[in-house]
Structure 1
Amino acid sequence: MVMSAKQTGDPVQLKSGVWKISDQDGQRVMKVLRSQGEWQLNRMRQSGQLERAAFEAGIPMAIPVIPVLDGVGLWTPLGDERYVRLTEFVDGPHPDIDLKLARWVGSTLAQIEQLRLPAAVDESYPVHPLEEWAKWLGEARLMSLLPAVSDATRIIQSGLATEPVFQLAHRDVSTVNIIASPRGLVLIDFDHAGPEVPWWEFVHHVFNLDPSEAFVRPAFESYIQSGGTTGATDETAFAGYFRGMLEWIAYNVWLTLGHRDVPQSRRDEAHSIVHTGQISLPQELRSLDEWITLLR
C-alpha cells in the first residue's frame, strides 16, 4: 500500500507523536519523530526492513503504508530531521491471556524467524557494564538492585559467549502490541525491531506474557510445529529476556535522574517502573530453575 496524501477530518492524538487520521482508504496511525542521530536512523531502517518483509510474507499484522518517496525504512522525511510514517489503524481490544493467544504467539514468532533477515549485535542491543550500573544506581539510591543486575548481566554475557546467530526480530510482542480484531489476532508496532536470537525472542515474550505451564507449553508446541528453532534449555535461554528487562530498567533510571528531557508525568511513571523492577527482577531470577523445566 502506498502512502496516501488525501487526509479527511481532523487527526486524533493517541499519545505523544502518534495520531489517528482518516483518508479515502480508511483509518491510519500516523507517527512523527525527530531523529536523534545515525543510531536511530539505523533502527528505523532495520524495523522497516522487518515490517515490510513480514507483511509480504502474510504474517498477521497491521498493514504498513509504503512511502512513495525514498525514505528511511518506512519513514518519509519531512525536513529538519523529522520523519513521518503511516500504518493501518487496527480496531479492537487487546487479547486475553489464554490458550488461543499462546498458540498464536508461538506460531507468529516462528513465522517471523523464518524471514531469516540477518542482523548483528550493535548499539540497539545494549549490555551495560556493571561499573555504569553502579554509578546510575548509586545516583538514584537504588544500590540494593545491583546484585540482581549483576546476576542478570552474567546470564546475558554467558549467552553471548556462545556466539549465537542473530536475526531481525520484533522485540516487543506484548498484549499492548496485539489487537483482537475482527480478522483475528494482529501484531502491531514494529518500531522496536532489531537484532535478537530467535530462540531468545520466543522465550522472552512467552514468559513475559505468562510464565505459567498452561501458557508456555502450548506456545512452545505451536512454535515448534510452525518451524521455530530451539536453543539451549538452560539459563542462557533467558539472555534476551533479561537483556530487555535491564534495558527498560536502565532507561527509566535515566529518566528518574533527569538524563532525558521528558515531562514530569513521565518521570513519575519512571519512578514507578523502577520500583517494580526492584521487586520483579530478583523474583524472576529466583524463578529461573522452575521456568527452565518448561522448556524441556
Structure 2
Amino acid sequence: MRGMDPAAAAAALGLGALRGPAEALKRDEHSPVWRLDTDSGTWVVKATVPHGDYWHADVAQTGRLEAAAWRAGVDMAEPLVPAGAASGLWVAVGGGAYARAARFLDGRHAPAPVPPRLAAWAGATFAALERLAVAPDPSGAGDYASRFHPESDWDEWLGQARDLGVLDTAQAGALKDAAMRIAALGEAAEKPAEVVVHGDFSHLNIMVTPEGPKLIDFDSGGPNVPWWELVAIAVEMGAPALGVMEPDRASVEACVAGYAAAGGTPGPADESAFTGILTGRLASTAWQLWMACGHRGGSAAQRAQFGRDVRASVTALTTMLEAVPTWAAWLKG
C-alpha cells in the first residue's frame, strides 16, 4: 500500500526528501512507525489505515490536545501540525492510509517502576494538560472508547473466543465476571465532567533526554475524568506490568503529590477513583478480543499475538480488581 511507504508519507507530510533509509521503530502491518532523517530534521512518523469513520473525530480531539499542549510549553515531543487538510494531526497519504509526525527525541524510555522524582514530574505534567481543558467531541466513539457493553455482547464475543480457541472456559468466565463488576462500579460512580486526556501516560511514553523528561505519543487520547486519569497514571508509574506486579507505593504517592502541588484537583480518595483505569483496561481488552477473533481483519500471526495479549489482560483485570481496595488506601496517604 502506497500510504505505508515511508517516502510517500514524508512527502505527504511535507518533511522534505529523505537523507537516508527509513529505520523501522515498530513493524506493524496496520500501524508501522519509522524514524526518518529528512531535509527538515529527524522525525518519528506513524502511518495507519482507519478502521471506521469514527476515527476522524477521535484523532481530531486528540490532535487539539497535543497541539495545545505544545503551544502551552508542556515538556513533550514537538508535533508536526499540518498546514492543510488533516484529521487532527494526521494527513491522508494515499491508499486510504494516513500519517503523522513528531520530532525525534534523543533519549531513553523512563525506567519502570518510575522513580518518585520522575513520577512527581508526571503528576505535574498531567496537571498542566488538565488546565488546557480540551473539550471532548461527543461524536467520538471509537474502538477504544471506555463504554460498557451489554452482557449479551460479551456472551456473543466470549462464545466466539471459546470456539476459536482464543480463550478457554475459565478465562472466558473470568473476563465476563470482570466486565460485569467493572460495569457495576462505573454505573454506581458519580461521573464529573470529562476533558480530553493523553490516554497512555506510561513509562514507555516518557523519554528521558539531556533536556529533561518529555512526554510522547498522544495517539491513544480521548475523554476521561481528570482525577480518574491521574490515578491511572499514578498506578502505572509504580507498576512495570500493571495488574500483574504490585505497583511501587512511593512512585504512586509521588505522582499524586506532584499533581496536587502543580494545581491539580484531587477527587475522592476511594475505590471510585479507579473507575477510569478499570474501564480503560476493559476497553483495550475488548479491542484485543475483537482482533484475536478476526473482527478487524489482520493476519493469522497478528490474531495470534492479540490472543496472547487478551489472555494476559484477563489475568491483569482480575488482579487489578482484587488490588483496588489496597490502592485506594494509598491515595489517602
The verdict on how the C-alpha distance between 1:35 and 1:281 changes in structure 2, with shifts beyond 3 A counting, is closer
Give the drift of 1:79. Answer: 4.0
Aligned mates of 1:268, 1:34 — CA distance in 2: 20
What residue is the counterpart of 1:237 in the other structure? 273
Letter in 1 for 2:225: V
Q: 2:53 aligns with which of 32, 38, 44?
A: 38
Give the drift of 1:10. Answer: 2.1
* Residues 1:10 and 2:21 are matched in the alignment: yes
Q: Deviations over 1:186-222 (max 9, x none)?
A: 1111111111111011011211232332111111111
What residue is the counterpart of 2:120 in the other structure? 103
Letter in 1 for 2:285: I
Q: How does 1:1-296 map to 2 (within 5 A)?
A: 3-15=14-26, 16=28, 17-96=32-111, 97-119=114-136, 122-124=140-142, 125=145, 126-141=147-162, 142-159=172-189, 162-210=190-238, 211-296=247-332
Give the drift of 1:258. Answer: 1.8
Q: Deviations over 1:233-254 (max 9, x none)?
A: 2222111101111011111111
Letter in 1 for 2:316: S
The verdict on how the C-alpha distance between 1:77 and 1:101 changes in structure 2, with shifts beyond 3 A counting, is same
Aligned mates of 1:278, 1:99 — CA distance in 2: 29
Q: Deviations over 1:47-74 (max 9, x none)?
A: 1101000000111111011212232211
Aligned mates of 2:215, 2:72 — CA distance in 1: 14
Aligned mates of 2:324, 2:178 — CA distance in 1: 13
Letter in 1 for 2:200: D
Aligned mates of 2:248, 2:24 — CA distance in 1: 36
- For the 8 Å contact 2:207–2:216, the answer to whether it is kept is yes
- For the 8 Å contact 1:3–1:65, the answer to whether it is kept is no
The verdict on how the C-alpha distance between 1:225 and 1:133 changes in structure 2, with shifts beyond 3 A counting, is same
The verdict on how the C-alpha distance between 1:36 and 1:282 changes in structure 2, with shifts beyond 3 A counting, is closer
Letter in 1 for 2:229: E
Give the drift of 1:291. Answer: 0.8
* SS of aligned partner of 1:87: strand
Shifted more, 61-70 versus 9-18: the winner is: 9-18
Q: Structure 1 length normalisation: TM-score?
A: 0.92
Give the drift of 1:80. Answer: 4.3
- For the 8 Å contact 1:20–1:29, the answer to whether it is kept is yes
Give the drift of 1:143. Answer: 2.2
Give the drift of 1:284. Answer: 1.3
Aligned mates of 2:101, 2:48 — CA distance in 1: 12
- For the 8 Å contact 1:8–1:22, the answer to whether it is kept is yes
The count of aligned residue pairs is 293
Runs (5+) with no aligned partner, structure 1: none
Aligned mates of 1:250, 1:202 — CA distance in 2: 23
Give the drift of 1:175. Answer: 1.7
* SS of aligned partner of 2:297: coil
Q: Deviations over 1:247-283 (max 9, x none)?
A: 1111111122121212333222222222222222122
Runs (5+) with no aligned partner, structure 2: 1-12, 163-171, 239-246
Aligned mates of 1:24, 1:279 — CA distance in 2: 47
- For the 8 Å contact 2:191–2:225, the answer to whether it is kept is no
